[in-house]
């Protein structure tokens, strides 16, 4: 099935946008693994409403903005625990693998604020392939939680202690397409790129030396 093209409405992305077409149109890929550029959450009216070819009306929610190549879900969770993140709960969001396979979030972790118990960084994770974990991270506060920071800033907060100067970046043209060329998503900056967080510095050095195959997002 070929999904219909998404057409952005004229409304501001800071409001609840309505998109006509399929969420499945916003595909990304990394290392040969295909997945959606955004998570979806049927019934969540804080997300961008889309008419999806598979599930009907739903919400495009959070951009996929962190990638962990050559890692498993459990190893990524362990790395985040070591960096001060803890297991948490939150609403269930789903991610497309390929064209039509919807997979619920596999793990959720948070880095809690000190001054406000409702304030936290929050990441949802999926094992998108045998050796690729993908995630969507944001910052939020309040009851119920509301996004209150640029997606890019939350992405940097998660990545910095894990890969510092050897983080890599990959651009998802599919995110830019869904955003209609806007640098903002749901009212907050999203640059359409994801931080690639490798196993460690040694892996990146081998990659740059041409000893391991490089990959590029789409």
Measured CA to CA, the distance from residue 18 to residue 209 in angstroms comes to 46
Please, what's the b/e burial string for 125-145 (b: 16 or more CB within 10 A of its CB; e: otherwise)?
A: bbbbbeebbbbbbbbbbeeeb
Count structural domains, the chain: 1
Does the pLDDT of residue 20 top 90, yes or no? no
In a domain, 187, yes or no: yes
In a domain, 12, yes or no: no
pLDDT in tens, 130-144: 999 999 999 999 878
pLDDT in tens, 41-53: 988 888 999 998 8
pLDDT grade, residue 206 (50/70/90)? very low
pLDDT at 218: 47
In a domain, 69, yes or no: yes
In a domain, 182, yes or no: yes
Enclosing domain of residue 142:
62-90+101-208
């Amino acid at each position: 099935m070929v999904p219909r093209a998404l057409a952005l409405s004229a409304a501001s992305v800071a409001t609840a946008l309505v998109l006509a077409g399929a969420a499945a149109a916003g595909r990304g890929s990394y290392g040969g693994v295909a997945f959606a550029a955004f998570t979806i959450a049927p019934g969540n009216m804080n997300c961008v409403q889309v008419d999806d070819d598979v599930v009907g009306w739903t919400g495009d929610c959070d951009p996929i903005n962190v990638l962990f190549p050559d890692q498993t879900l459990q190893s990524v969770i362990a790395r985040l625990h070591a960096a001060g993140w803890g297991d948490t709960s939150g609403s269930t969001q789903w991610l497309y693998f390929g064209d039509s396979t919807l997979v619920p979030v596999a793990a959720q972790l948070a880095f809690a604020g000190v001054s406000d118990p409702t304030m936290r960084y929050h990441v949802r994770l999926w094992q998108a392939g045998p050796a690729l974990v993908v995630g969507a991270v944001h910052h939020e506060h309040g009851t119920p939680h509301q996004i209150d920071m640029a997606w890019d800033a939350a992405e940097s907060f998660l990545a910095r202690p894990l890969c510092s100067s050897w983080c890599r970046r990959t651009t998802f043209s599919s995110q830019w397409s869904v955003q209609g060329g806007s640098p903002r998503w749901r009212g907050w900056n999203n640059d359409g790129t994801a931080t690639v967080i490798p196993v460690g510095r040694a892996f990146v050095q081998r990659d740059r030396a041409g000893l391991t195959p490089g990959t590029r997002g789409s």
